[in-house]
Amino acid sequence: MKGRRVLVTGLGLVSPHGDDPERVFEALLQGRSAIGLWGRDELPPVVVARAPFAPEPWFTKLQLVGTDRVSQMAVAAAESARADAHWPDKLDPERVGIFIGSGMGGATALDDAYEALRLQRRMSPLSVVAGMTNAPAAHIAMRVGVHGPVYTYSVACASSALAIAEAAKAIAAGEIDIAIAGGAEALLVPGVVRAWQALQTLATPDLVEPGRSCRPFDVSRSGLVLGEGAAMLVLESHEHALARSAVPYAELAGSGVSCDASHLTKPHSQGQVRALGNALRSSGLAADDIGYCNAHGTATLVGDAVECESLLHVWGDSIAGLRVSSTKSMHGHLLGAAGALEALITILALNRRQAPPTATCRNLDAACNIPIIGESAEELPNLRAAISNSFAFGGTNVVLAFTRVD
């Protein structure tokens, strides 16, 4: 990445596995699934990954009025990331940025509004402000007192990965010194889940072992599992972090962005190859420098095969040195927040030199014939660089490249 170096100095999350990054990572290393059956009488059987989240530590009862679950989780994750980074008290508010990704925004507020309309009941006057996609970013900005750029990105599954990439570019260019970047998604409401069921991309529930319903790269995979949560990173320039003696988790070395421009839902290998190549050029890394990839790996029949084809195309003869896993097998697909959660996991994998498994992959599909980490985690003692892939409906592709700071 040209310009100033960008470091990751704080991590915060609300996830299906909890809100402590280290404990969440340990759960993933152990292959523990947070996916389970969702007991809603009005829906056919469905498996989801719910976050065990209560907003009370972060909001008063009055503040909760008109604040959608997606904004609640975003604020909680952002405040946790700030605490983890030992966020300095004295900052020029114009040199601070907020960069947030969300695919669906305030889904609960909108679902409630439509239900009120259907039943001819009074609709909440706060439906619009609770449901707008930029509400999470606005709530964080008000909490922190940010007067710099406050942006929201909505490009489906790549939303929060793009938010992180854009925050890093703003820091590298000298426009700001420090940022909160990530994403939030809270779409587990009847209307949205039914819409996804109608799209016929959700996994067939395993009624015996619901936690094994999402099977990326496995020959028996049947689709994705919806999840919810929020994940935030504190990013800052190397100079800014050094001046306050911040201890970094990793360096965001570069990113790659592209668009397939071919189909709304069907991924295109050439677009993914461009994003992967752009990430390598931006970071100054070669393919054989990358030791781990947290794959997009949604467990759809076409998507997994295309992603493996793209990685093989870019890595070529170096593919044997790349270890790949999809942690969606355990935490589900957080859509707009997926890129941020998986970036956080990738950072911890790099920091600890341990790679989480694709916990449900027992029988690798021949169409996914690359070095997939199966049911057990792996130690990667020489790991120095890693990537996180986010390939979205609509064709937007984002790859984030991280390196260790030793």
State the CATH number of the domain containing residue 32: 3.40.47.10
C-alpha dihedral sign at 171, 174, 176, 178? positive
Which pLDDT value is given to residue 100?
A: 98
pTM tops 0.85: yes
Which stretch of DSSP H or E encloses residue 238?
helix 238-243
Which pLDDT value is given to residue 406?
A: 85
Q: Which of helix, strand or coil describes residue 60?
A: coil
The answer to whether 166 and 153 are in contact (CB under 8 A) is yes
The answer to whether 83 and 147 are in contact (CB under 8 A) is no
Which pLDDT value is given to residue 252?
A: 98
User: In this structure, are strands 229-237 and 226-227 parallel, antiparallel, or unpaired?
Assistant: unpaired
Rounded distance between C-alpha atoms, residue 295 and residue 158, angstroms:
12
Rounded distance between C-alpha atoms, residue 231 and residue 74, angstroms:
7
Q: Which of 207, 227, 243 is the last residue of a domain?
A: 243
> In this structure, are 239 and 255 located in the same domain?
no
What's the domain count of the chain? 2
> In this structure, are 198 and 260 located in the same domain?
no
Which pLDDT value is given to residue 44?
A: 82
In a domain, 1, yes or no: no
Residue range 41-88, pLDDT digits in tens? 777 889 999 999 999 999 999 999 999 999 999 999 999 999 999 999
Place of tokens 């975003």: 74
Domain of residue 262 covers: 250-403
> In this structure, are 11 and 145 located in the same domain?
yes
Which pLDDT value is given to residue 216?
A: 98
Task: Give me the residues of the chain with pLDDT under 50, please.
Answer: none
> In this structure, are 89 and 218 located in the same domain?
yes
In a domain, 103, yes or no: yes
Residue range 111-135, pLDDT digits in tens? 988 888 889 899 899 999 999 999 9
Which pLDDT value is given to residue 39?
A: 77
Q: Return the active site residues.
A: 157, 296, 333
